[in-house]
A and B are shown apart, each in its own frame.
Chain A
Amino acid sequence: MEFSKFIAIGLGLGLLAFGNVSAQECCPTDSIYKHCNLQEVVITEKVSGDNALLKFYKSTKTSSTEDVLSRLAAVNLIRRGNYAMEPVIRGFSASQIGLTLDGIKIFGACTDHMDPPTSYVEPSNLKSIQLATSAGASKFGSNIGGSLNLQLAQAQLGTEKTVSGMFTSSYSLASQSTNNVLELNYGAKRFGIRFSGVYRKSGNYLANRQEVPFTQYQKLNFSVNSKYMLSDNSFLSLDVLADDGWNIGYAALPMDVSSAKARIYALSYKVFPKNKAFTYFETKVYGNNIIHSMDDTKRPLTPMHMDMPGWSDTYGAYTETAITLNSKNLLTIRTDGYTNLTRAEMTMYPQNSAPMFMLTWPDVRNTTIGLYLNNDYLLNKKFTINLNGRLDYSSSKITSEIGRTQLEVFNYKVDNARIKLLKNINGGTTYKSGNFHSSINIGYSERPSSTNELYGFYLFNAYDGYDYIGNPNIKDERSFNMELNAGYKTKFTDITVALFNNEIQNYTLGKYHPELSVMTIGANGVKVYEQIAHANLKGFEIGLSTVLLKNLQLISNARYTKGTDNDNNPLPLISPFKLTSSVRYAKSKFSLQAENIWATAQNKVSTMVNEKTTPAYTLFNLRGTYAFKVKQNKLELNAGVENLFDTYYQDHLDWGNIPRPGRNVMMGLSYVF
């Protein structure tokens, strides 16, 4: 019912927009946004140099999406195994941030965050990364810590060659892993279809020349986009993505994953009206089904076999349009809604008695409808004022009797839906003069509480070794954000500095309850989610991209975040100061890239979650490509050495005492046709 309601709203808005379409020329050239090219439209967002970075790293055909993400200055990754790392934006993670794929909401089916949606995108089907930290962060949903939207690659229409593509195969020695990618594009005049398929297989990697057990994985990823040009200014686009991972080791957790399946599909209609007022109009319906099965059968010291499957199904829709109110005013309207149902089970099999069963996620339905508005106002040639906000109506409800009665154990009354209005508002101004630009943004945001935080039932957290119980009575976390940006950009150099400060209220964390007995054998105790009055995350990022010599480019960034709680104690899982520097030499057929990653020690740790300090490390990576023509096509040789000096290290966001891979030599061959 709730679902049908927001579909109706979405369609309603759609019709409204259609009503105003009249036959006029496209593209107001005097607008601050330029949308002339129908094929490749830049969405009205302040995406900084991130896509340059994306291009920079994507050029190495062996990288994974995570390799690319980790190079973004605002992004760090939580690592539990050698697979599906979880993004952290400026110290915010999980439900504090928004993760979407082409605006599609995806909720993991794993109670332990082993399957962030970013793991379903491979560089071969990734078009761009939209990272938003303050301005526009709430475009795809309520969050307090920023958002990452990964745009999927789309079919190319009217290509020079009707069929084009690429095949890459690479091999890494240290983990005996292969990565095989096939990309195909069929581009007729009005119709295009793009296929990408990836098969990756990895054994356990080596660190200090010793095998690190449970770091293996296998995965298959298929992504198909087909695009049909309905008229010279409108498109119909269908995306189908299937991602299957299996035999995935999670070295830092007590369980691995036997199977992780994701099916994601979306149908969208996009039009660039021949009307001066409307820049574009897009509507999309989507769905995704995630199944996740954890596995302990390969672990030697399991006291008792356990099955822990999880399911997450999401269906949603959104409609988005940008309206040029006048030559100085651009309004973006987005209405969206989704409904998500998650269930996770745990069954334990004792030797001589009946199986033991419970729901770790008690059939929780989350339904949210929201409205996002963004207005960019060009005050004069130098100043732009931006104001945006989102209002979400969010409901969470336990849909099954067993789910409801289970929570009686904690005297929780969950018969009624938990209904919240989530408010996000952000205002800012940008100043631009010559090569110099700067901006200031101030915002207030609220985020929905996660299923774990509300209804999680004895979820073991391997990080601190406690079982966690949800609390349906918690308030929603909220944050006051401030961000200052300044930059200098010439043809050869691009320097940016960002300063941010987030004052978080109702900061959610687990509080130890000694009177509760642990469910997980060997756990340290039981924690129930509670809130502290406030916490703070602040820090800075510096980015530099410059042409040093002809053919020689330097890309570098530095990042630092400091997190403190109510009593000025450090927050957990905060990355220390980190400096990433790459130089790239490219000349005709040949390119060489050398990279250094330097992280200082993290000694500010949270004793509340038994966090350990992490020593500093420095790493060197080297990658090279050589390309030559074979008839009309291109053959490219890739080679690289990661962790050149075989440093034995760990990043602060790595769980457990698991070392990162040692020296790793890889080779690859690509054929572009």
Chain B
Amino acid sequence: MKNLTKYLVIAIIPFLFTSCEKSEESPNPTINKIKVGEAMITDANTKLQIWADADLNTGYNKLYLIALDATTNEPKSDATFAIKPMMTMTMTGGMTMTHSSPFEQADAAAKKNNLTPAAAVFTMPTSDSGFWKMEVTLNNNKKAIIPIKVEESKQSRLIMASTADKTNYIVALLPNPAYKIGANDFELQISRKIDANTYTPVNDFTVEMTPEMPDMGHGSPNNVNPTFVANGHYKGKVNFTMSGYWKVNLKIKDASGTTIGEDTFFKITF
């Protein structure tokens, strides 16, 4: 029996090593990420790339920007970025109009592995009559327009809500690729629409969360309501007692206690 244990330990050792290698020294900064857009800035001999954790979906998407030397394909470690998502829509009658969406500006301070993080909350998917592009400004002077494709999210990740005075809010659920039975991180990003091109994060709301399983009519205990952390982000914990389809009901109130939107919820299936 002791021998058996010994062999087991020996057998496990190689696995321990392989798993260490993976997590510590990633040779490729974009491993596990997907390239969602690319453009050349010829006069700077630079390739601009946008990466993401998954295909772009309506809702909140984390983005990663990188600039590469077009000849050597080596990352340019001193590159800085500024982004702005734009959608062009063709209206009935052939007229076009453009609008932006809430986004989080590229943060040079948070650059890691030559990838500069940013985020965008896409409010609608790419369609026959509307397409998204990302305006990226490199080093404060060179601009590139990168076409990107946004698909309709399979999970509900976006709530458009408004108040009686017609102020519009966009509530986005940060994606969680691994929901589990148990306690799950639940993070929202809330923005106020100023006009079609301007959105600001909202920092003074309160959120009450009640998950339920509509097929069975039950909820779950000990949930932690999302509370404000920074930049329009609200963090909480949602508890799922089983896998399947959950409806996470939200009651969002502004600083004066007025409820934003009616029947606001996210549907989560895992």
Interface residues of A (CB under 8 A from B): 1, 3-4, 7-8, 304, 346, 348, 350-351, 353-359, 402, 404-411, 457-458, 515-519, 521
Indicate if the CB atoms of A1 and B5 lie closer than 8 Å.
yes
Indicate if the CB atoms of A409 and B222 lie closer than 8 Å.
yes
Query: Could you give 8 example pairs across A and B, Cβ below 8 Å?
Result: A348-B244, A350-B215, A356-B245, A402-B181, A405-B181, A408-B182, A519-B218, A519-B241
Rounded to whole Å, the gap between the CB of B224 and the closest CB of chain A is 10
B242 close to A (CB within 8 Å): yes
For the complex, give the distance between the alpha carbons of A583 and B196 in Å: 96
For residue B210, which residue of chain A has the nearest CB? A517
B90 close to A (CB within 8 Å): no
Contact status of A4 and B245, CB under 8 A, knowing A405-B180, A408-B182, A409-B222: no
For residue B267, which residue of chain A has the nearest CB? A353
What are the residues of chain A within 8 A of B269 when measuring CB–CB?
Answer: 353-354
For the complex, give the distance between the alpha carbons of A457 and B222 in Å: 15
Indicate if the CB atoms of A7 and B244 lie closer than 8 Å.
no
What are the residues of chain A within 8 A of B77 when measuring CB–CB?
Answer: none
For the complex, give the distance between the alpha carbons of A351 and B221 in Å: 25
**Contact residues on B (Cβ < 8 Å of other chain), bracket:** 20 to 34
For the complex, give the distance between the alpha carbons of A409 and B222 in Å: 6
For the complex, give the distance between the alpha carbons of A7 and B270 in Å: 42
B239 close to A (CB within 8 Å): yes
Q: Besides the contacts A4-B2, A348-B244, A406-B241, what 17 more A-B pairs have beta carbons closer than 8 Å?
A: A3-B1, A4-B1, A4-B5, A353-B269, A355-B244, A356-B216, A356-B245, A357-B181, A357-B242, A405-B180, A405-B181, A408-B182, A409-B222, A409-B241, A517-B219, A517-B220, A521-B217
What are the residues of chain A within 8 A of B220 when measuring CB–CB?
Answer: 409, 517
Indicate if the CB atoms of A406 and B181 lie closer than 8 Å.
yes
What are the residues of chain B within 8 A of A402 when measuring CB–CB?
Answer: 180-182
Contact status of A356 and B215, CB under 8 A, knowing A402-B180, A408-B182: yes
For residue B217, which residue of chain A has the nearest CB? A521
What are the residues of chain A within 8 A of B180 when measuring CB–CB?
Answer: 402, 405
For residue B221, which residue of chain A has the nearest CB? A516
B127 close to A (CB within 8 Å): no
Rounded to whole Å, the gap between the CB of B196 and the closest CB of chain A is 36
For the complex, give the distance between the alpha carbons of A95 and B218 in Å: 30
Contact status of A350 and B181, CB under 8 A, knowing A1-B5, A409-B222, A519-B216: no
Indicate if the CB atoms of A356 and B239 lie closer than 8 Å.
no
B243 close to A (CB within 8 Å): yes
Rounded to whole Å, the gap between the CB of B183 and the closest CB of chain A is 4
What are the residues of chain B within 8 A of A410 when measuring CB–CB?
Answer: 221-222
Interface centre among A346, A353, A355, A457 (most CB of B within 10 A): A353
Indicate if the CB atoms of B183 and A408 lie closer than 8 Å.
yes
Indicate if the CB atoms of B244 and A356 lie closer than 8 Å.
yes
What are the residues of chain B within 8 A of A518 when measuring CB–CB?
Answer: 218
Indicate if the CB atoms of B242 and A358 lie closer than 8 Å.
yes
B10 close to A (CB within 8 Å): no
Indicate if the CB atoms of B245 and A353 lie closer than 8 Å.
yes
Rounded to whole Å, the gap between the CB of A517 and the closest CB of chain B is 4
Indicate if the CB atoms of A406 and B182 lie closer than 8 Å.
yes
Rounded to whole Å, the gap between the CB of A626 and the closest CB of chain B is 57
Indicate if the CB atoms of B183 and A409 lie closer than 8 Å.
yes
B213 close to A (CB within 8 Å): yes
Rounded to whole Å, the gap between the CB of A4 and the closest CB of chain B is 3
Indicate if the CB atoms of A409 and B2 lie closer than 8 Å.
no
Rounded to whole Å, the gap between the CB of B238 and the closest CB of chain A is 10
What are the residues of chain A within 8 A of B221 when measuring CB–CB?
Answer: 409-410, 515-517
For the complex, give the distance between the alpha carbons of A511 and B2 in Å: 45
Contact status of A350 and B245, CB under 8 A, knowing A358-B181, A410-B222: yes
For residue B242, which residue of chain A has the nearest CB? A358
For residue A362, which residue of chain B has the nearest CB? B181
What are the residues of chain B within 8 A of A351 when measuring CB–CB?
Answer: 215
Indicate if the CB atoms of A407 and B5 lie closer than 8 Å.
no
Indicate if the CB atoms of B244 and A405 lie closer than 8 Å.
no
B240 close to A (CB within 8 Å): yes
For the complex, give the distance between the alpha carbons of A407 and B221 in Å: 11
For the complex, give the distance between the alpha carbons of A242 and B233 in Å: 59
Rounded to whole Å, the gap between the CB of A518 and the closest CB of chain B is 6
What are the residues of chain B within 8 A of A8 when measuring CB–CB?
Answer: 1-2
For the complex, give the distance between the alpha carbons of A16 and B219 in Å: 58
What are the residues of chain A within 8 A of B243 when measuring CB–CB?
Answer: 354-358
Indicate if the CB atoms of A521 and B216 lie closer than 8 Å.
yes
Partner of B215, one of A304, A358, A458: A304
B13 close to A (CB within 8 Å): no
B97 close to A (CB within 8 Å): no
What are the residues of chain A within 8 A of B183 when measuring CB–CB?
Answer: 405, 408-409
B91 close to A (CB within 8 Å): no
B4 close to A (CB within 8 Å): yes
Indicate if the CB atoms of B245 and A407 lie closer than 8 Å.
no
Indicate if the CB atoms of B245 and A411 lie closer than 8 Å.
no
What are the residues of chain A within 8 A of B217 when measuring CB–CB?
Answer: 521
What are the residues of chain B within 8 A of A359 when measuring CB–CB?
Answer: 181
What are the residues of chain A within 8 A of B5 when measuring CB–CB?
Answer: 1, 4
Rounded to whole Å, the gap between the CB of A277 and the closest CB of chain B is 30
Interface centre among A4, A8, A402, A406 (most CB of B within 10 A): A406
Partner of B239, one of A304, A354, A357, A408: A408
Rounded to whole Å, the gap between the CB of A350 and the closest CB of chain B is 4
What are the residues of chain B within 8 A of A358 when measuring CB–CB?
Answer: 181, 241-243
Indicate if the CB atoms of A353 and B215 lie closer than 8 Å.
yes
Indicate if the CB atoms of B245 and A304 lie closer than 8 Å.
no
Interface centre among B4, B218, B240 (most CB of A within 10 A): B218
What are the residues of chain A within 8 A of B245 when measuring CB–CB?
Answer: 350, 353-354, 356
Interface centre among B5, B183, B242, B244 (most CB of A within 10 A): B242
What are the residues of chain B within 8 A of A1 when measuring CB–CB?
Answer: 5
For the complex, give the distance between the alpha carbons of A7 and B183 in Å: 39
Indicate if the CB atoms of B244 and A357 lie closer than 8 Å.
yes
For the complex, give the distance between the alpha carbons of A89 and B148 in Å: 72
For the complex, give the distance between the alpha carbons of A521 and B214 in Å: 11
For residue B238, which residue of chain A has the nearest CB? A409
For the complex, give the distance between the alpha carbons of A188 and B264 in Å: 80
Rounded to whole Å, the gap between the CB of A197 and the closest CB of chain B is 36
For residue A513, which residue of chain B has the nearest CB? B221
What are the residues of chain B within 8 A of A353 when measuring CB–CB?
Answer: 215, 244-245, 269
Rounded to whole Å, the gap between the CB of B265 and the closest CB of chain A is 15
Rounded to whole Å, the gap between the CB of B269 and the closest CB of chain A is 5
For the complex, give the distance between the alpha carbons of A255 and B97 in Å: 61
Interface centre among B181, B182, B243 (most CB of A within 10 A): B181
For the complex, give the distance between the alpha carbons of A324 and B138 in Å: 93
What are the residues of chain B within 8 A of A354 when measuring CB–CB?
Answer: 243-245, 269-270
Contact status of A405 and B242, CB under 8 A, knowing A356-B215, A515-B221, A516-B221: no
For residue A360, which residue of chain B has the nearest CB? B242
For residue B223, which residue of chain A has the nearest CB? A409
What are the residues of chain B within 8 A of A3 when measuring CB–CB?
Answer: 1
For the complex, give the distance between the alpha carbons of A411 and B237 in Å: 12
What are the residues of chain A within 8 A of B244 when measuring CB–CB?
Answer: 348, 350, 353-357
What are the residues of chain A within 8 A of B215 when measuring CB–CB?
Answer: 304, 348, 350-351, 353, 356
For the complex, give the distance between the alpha carbons of A402 and B182 in Å: 8
Scan B214-258; emit 1 where CB is below 8 A from any A CB, else 0: 011111111000000000000000011111110000000000000
For the complex, give the distance between the alpha carbons of A1 and B5 in Å: 7
For residue B220, which residue of chain A has the nearest CB? A409
What are the residues of chain A within 8 A of B240 when measuring CB–CB?
Answer: 409
For the complex, give the distance between the alpha carbons of A604 and B21 in Å: 67
What are the residues of chain B within 8 A of A404 when measuring CB–CB?
Answer: 182
Interface centre among A356, A411, A457 (most CB of B within 10 A): A356
For residue B246, which residue of chain A has the nearest CB? A356
For the complex, give the distance between the alpha carbons of A299 and B8 in Å: 47
